[in-house]
Amino acid sequence: MRTTEETEGFDGEASNTSMISGASSPYQPTTEPVHSRNVLGGIRCDMEYLKSYFGILKAVEVVLSLIGFICIETIMMCSPCGGVYFFEFVSCSAFVVTGVLLFIFSLNLHTKVPHVNWSLTDLVNTAASTFFFFLSSLVLACINHNTGAEIAAVIFGFLVTGVYGVNTFLAVRRWRRGNGCQGPAQTSEYMRARTASRGEMEARPELG
C-alpha cells in the first residue's frame, strides 16, 4: 500500500502539471463580457444609390406623390367625390410605399433580408403605382369642378405617372438581367465544383 507521503507527492505533481498545462494552453478563460450581436450594425447611407437613376427616380416619385396628395387635400367641397377620394388614396399609398422602399434601399436595409426578391418587389410597386396613378388622374380629369387644386392634382398626377413609367421600364430591365444571369452563374458554379472533385480523384487514385 502507498504511504501518505507518496500520495501527497503524487497529488503535488498532478497539481503542478495542471497549472503548467493551464498556463500554456491557448484556450484561457476570459472575464471579458460577451457583447451581443448588433443587428443594426453596418447601416450607412448609400450615396451611390441616391445618385443612381433608381434613387433619383424614387426621390422624385415621393416628392410628386406628396405634392399631389397635398393638392387633393386642399379641396373642401366636392360633388361627386369619387374621383377625389380615389386620387387621394392612390397618392397617399404611393407616397408611403415608395418612401419606405427609398428608406430601405438608401440605408442598405434590404441586404439584411436577402431571401426577399427586392428587384421584383420594386418592379411590382412601380408598375402598380404607374397604373393606378394614371387611372386616378384620368378619372379626376374627367370628373372635377375646374378648381385650382383639382387641376394641380391632375397635372402632378400625370407627371408622377410618367416618372413611375420610366422607373418601371428600368426595373423590368434590371429584373430580366438578374434572372438571365442567375442560370449561367449556377451552371458555372456546378462545373467548377465538378472540376475540383475530378482533380481530387486524380490526385488520390486510391479513392476510385
Model confidence pLDDT, tens digit, residues 55-85: 999 999 999 999 999 999 998 888 788 889 9
The number of folded domains in the chain is: 1
Three-state DSSP state, 154: helix
pTM of the model: 0.65
Contacts of 104 (CB under 8 A, 6+ apart): 110, 118
Whether residue 82 lies inside any domain: the answer is yes
Cα–Cα nearest to 93, from 57, 133, 123: 133
The pLDDT tens digits of the residues spanning 72-118 come to 999 888 878 888 999 999 999 999 999 999 999 999 888 888 888 88
For 207, phi then psi, to 5°, come to: -80, -15
Evaluate whether residue 155 is within a structural domain.
yes
Is 160 inside a domain boundary?
Answer: yes
| Residue 51 scores a pLDDT above 80 | yes
Is-contact 129 94, C-beta < 8 A?
Answer: yes
Residue of 176, 168, 174 whose CA lies nearest to 61: 168
For residue 105, what are the domain limits? 69-178
| Residue 45 DSSP SS3 | coil
Q: Which three cell numbers stand for residue 51?
A: 445618385
Does some domain include residue 204? no
Contact (Cβ atoms closer than 8 angstroms) between residue 43 and residue 104: no
Give me the numbers of helices (H) and strands (E) for the chain, helices first please: 6, 0
For residue 119, the Cα-to-chain-centroid distance in whole angstroms is 9
